[in-house]
Structure 1
C-alpha cells in the first residue's frame, strides 16, 4: 500500500478511531480525511470537527444523513419485512452501506486512494464496509487497523493515545460496546458475554424497562403510502421525523427490546441486546396493513424471500445485484400497501386494533358468519375432494 497518499476514515471521535487516525498517519505516512455520519445516534457531535483536526485530520466532514438513512435504507428494508434469524430488525447492519457510500463519495471528492474503518477482525462490520466499497469502487483500497496493528486491547489503545498526545477520554460507567442510530441501539460485551446473565441496568437507552412502562395503554394511528409510513396521529412527517416520533412513543412503553444470540457472518455466535422501539411499532403496523392489501400468493412469495433478503443486509450485500433485483420485486408488492393502522402501545407490545385501506381486498360479505348471497358453501365439497386426490392415493398404499 505504498501508493496511498490520502485516506478517508469513518470517525466517531472515540478512543478507537482517534487512535486509528494517528496510527494511519504514522504507519502509512499519508494524509487523513474523516467522515462523521449523524444517523440519529443522539450523541453530541458539536466540536467533533475540531477534535478530528486537532488529532491530525487535514479535513473533517460532519454530515447529517438522517433523512437519507430513513428514506433510502430503513424504509426499503422494512418494505421487505426483513428480520434476521426471525428476531433482529438489522439496525446496525442497515447503517453500514450508507456510511460506506459516503466514504466512497468523499474519497472521490478528495482524491483518496483508500478508505479506513475501526471495525474489528471478529465482527460483521468489517465485511459490510468492505463489500459495499468493493461494489461502489473496487479501485479503492481498505485500511483495517484492527487486522494490521499490534494493539490488542483497550489498554494498548490508551497507552498509544498517551504516547502520541491524543485526547481520548474513556468512560468506564457502561461496560458495553454500543451502536445507536434512528432505528435502534445495540449492546454487546460486559455481562452479556455470558448468555446466561440477565442484561444489566445500563443496557437501556431507547426503551424503559417494561415494568416501568405506563399502566395505561396509548392508542396511535400510522398512515402508509405504498408501504412507507407518511404520518403519525394524522400529522405528516419526514421519514426521519417519523422514526424519531415512533422511537419516543414505543420507547415510552418498553416496546422493541430483543435479547438474542445470533450467528455472525464470520462464523461465531454473539449475544446482544437490541432496542428498536420505532422499528418494532412500524413492523407490526405494516404487517397488519398488508393483511388487507396484499394478494395471498404475492404475500407468500415475498415472505418466502425474507430470510434471503435479511441475510443480504446482515452480511453486507446491500449494493449487490441480487439485493437490488430483489428490492425491485419487493417494491412492486407494496404498490397497494396504502392505508391506516390503529395500534395500542402497552407494556412492551404494539397491538393492532384496526386497519383500513382504499385498496382493501377484504370483503365482509364473503367473510361473514351471517347469511350471504355471494358464497355457496356447498362448493367447498368439490374443492376439498380435489385437494384430497393425492392424499387418498397416498393413503391407499399403506406404509
Structure 2
C-alpha cells in the first residue's frame, strides 16, 4: 500500500506513541497527529502536542469537540432513551462519530491519503471508526496497526519505544484500560477480567462509593424544552457546562456506577465498569418527564426507538439513513417534553421527587380516589367487555368443543 501522508487518531498513550514511528518505518510516510478533545480531562491533554512531535509526527492538531459531542450526539441520543443491554449509557460509542468526522475533515484539509487509529482487533471501536470513515471519505486508505504489526504486549511496545529513543510515561505494570470523555469513563482489565471478582475501589476514579457518599440527600431541579436541558436549579447553562456540573453533583453522591458483562459487536463478551453520573441524572429526569407527557402508545414507540438506537450507536452506524429516521421520530415525539423535574440523589440512587409540564396528560380530576364528576365508573364495564371479547369468544369455542367431544 502506497501512502504519502496519514492522519493518526492520537492520544499520547503507549499504543499511539508506538504507532507514529511504526507508520514511518513501515509505510515511509508523513504522520500527522490528530487529538480530539472530548472532555477526557486536562491531565490527558497536557503536553500531548510535544509528545506527538517527539514520537515523530510532523505536526499535531488538537481539536475541541466537546460542544459538538453534546449538541449533535448526546442530547439527540437522550431523546431516544437509548440504553445498551439495559444498563450501558453508550459513553465510549457516542464520542466516536464526532471524533471520526473531525479526523476525516483534518485529513482532507492537509491532503492526506490515509487514516489510522490505535483500536485493537478485538474491540468495537475499530468497527465504529472505520464505518464512519467509509461513510465520510471512502477514498482514504485505513491503516489499523493492531491488525498488522508484530507487537502483542505492552512490554513489546515499550521495548520498541526504547529502541526508537521515544520517551513515554507508560509502564508495563498498568492495570486498567480506561477511556474518558465528558459523558463517562470506562474501566477494563485487571481484576475485571474475572467476572467472579468484585471491583475494588481503585477501579473507580470519578464517583464516591455509595457507602462514602453524604448521609443527606441532594435535590436538584432540571428544566427541559423539547427534550433538551435548559436550566439547572433555575440557572441557564450551555450543554458542556451543564453536564460538567451534573457530573460533579452525581459523583459526590455515588451516582452512575455500573458493572456489566456486555456483548461486543465482534462476538465476544467483555466485562467493564462505567461511571456516568451526569448522564444517569439526565436520563432519569427525562424518563420522569416522559411519564407525564407521553401517552401509552407514544411511550411504547419511544422505547422501541431507544432499543434500535442503542444498537445503532453501539455498532457504529451513526452516519446512516436509519440514524436520521430514528432520530427524526424521537425528536418529533420530544417536542412535548417541556417541563421541570426535581430529582433526589442519595447513596448512589436517583429518584424523581417532583415533576410538572404544561403538556402533562396527568389529570388529578380523573385519577383521584375521592369523589369526582368527570369519570363514570360504569363506563368501564362496556370497555372491559369489548377489550376481552377475543378471550370470551375463544373460551366459548373451547366450551362448545368440550361439549361435542363428551
Which TM-score applies when normalising by structure 2?
A: 0.96
Residue-by-residue CA offset, 1:348-381 (whole Å, 9 max, x unaligned) = 1111110111222211111111111111111110
The residue aligned with 2:270 is 270
Q: Distance in 2 between the 1:259 and 1:343 partners? A: 23
Q: Distance in 2 between the 1:270 and 1:332 partners? A: 35
Residue-by-residue CA offset, 1:233-258 (whole Å, 9 max, x unaligned) = 11110101111000000110101111
The residue aligned with 1:228 is 228
Preserved contact between residue 158 and residue 171 of structure 2 (Cα < 8 Å): no
Deviates more, 1:112-121 or 1:288-297: 288-297
- Following superposition, the deviation at residue 305 of structure 1 comes to 2.3
The residue aligned with 1:52 is 52
Q: Distance in 2 between the 1:67 and 1:305 partners? A: 25
- Following superposition, the deviation at residue 171 of structure 1 comes to 4.7
Question: Where in structure 2 are the equivalents of 1:30-109 lying within 5 Å?
Answer: 30-44=29-43, 45-109=45-109
Deviates more, 1:163-172 or 1:303-312: 163-172
The residue aligned with 1:125 is 125
The residue aligned with 1:370 is 370
Preserved contact between residue 174 and residue 202 of structure 1 (Cα < 8 Å): no
Q: Distance in 2 between the 1:76 and 1:206 partners? A: 25
Whether 1:209 and 2:227 are equivalent positions in the alignment is: no
- Following superposition, the deviation at residue 131 of structure 1 comes to 0.3
Q: Distance in 1 between the 2:174 and 2:204 partners? A: 11
Deviates more, 1:198-207 or 1:83-92: 198-207
Preserved contact between residue 96 and residue 129 of structure 2 (Cα < 8 Å): yes
The residue aligned with 1:340 is 340
The residue aligned with 2:143 is 143
The residue aligned with 1:176 is 176
Question: Number of residue pairs matched?
Answer: 398
The residue aligned with 1:19 is 18
Q: Distance in 1 between the 2:215 and 2:100 partners? A: 43
Q: Distance in 2 between the 1:351 and 1:325 partners? A: 32
Q: Distance in 2 between the 1:220 and 1:338 partners? A: 17
Which TM-score applies when normalising by structure 1?
A: 0.98
Whether 1:394 and 2:399 are equivalent positions in the alignment is: no
Residue-by-residue CA offset, 1:295-331 (whole Å, 9 max, x unaligned) = 3212211112222111100010011111111111111
Change over 3 Å in CA distance of 1:392–1:75 after alignment to 2: same
SS at match of 2:26: helix
Q: Distance in 1 between the 2:327 and 2:140 partners? A: 26
- Following superposition, the deviation at residue 200 of structure 1 comes to 1.8
Q: Distance in 1 between the 2:394 and 2:215 partners? A: 55
- Following superposition, the deviation at residue 201 of structure 1 comes to 2.2
Whether 1:287 and 2:287 are equivalent positions in the alignment is: yes
Preserved contact between residue 289 and residue 339 of structure 2 (Cα < 8 Å): yes
- Following superposition, the deviation at residue 174 of structure 1 comes to 5.2
SS at match of 1:130: helix
The residue aligned with 1:301 is 301
Preserved contact between residue 37 and residue 62 of structure 1 (Cα < 8 Å): yes
Change over 3 Å in CA distance of 1:174–1:350 after alignment to 2: farther
SS at match of 2:211: helix
Unaligned runs of 5+ residues in structure 2 are none
Preserved contact between residue 113 and residue 141 of structure 1 (Cα < 8 Å): yes
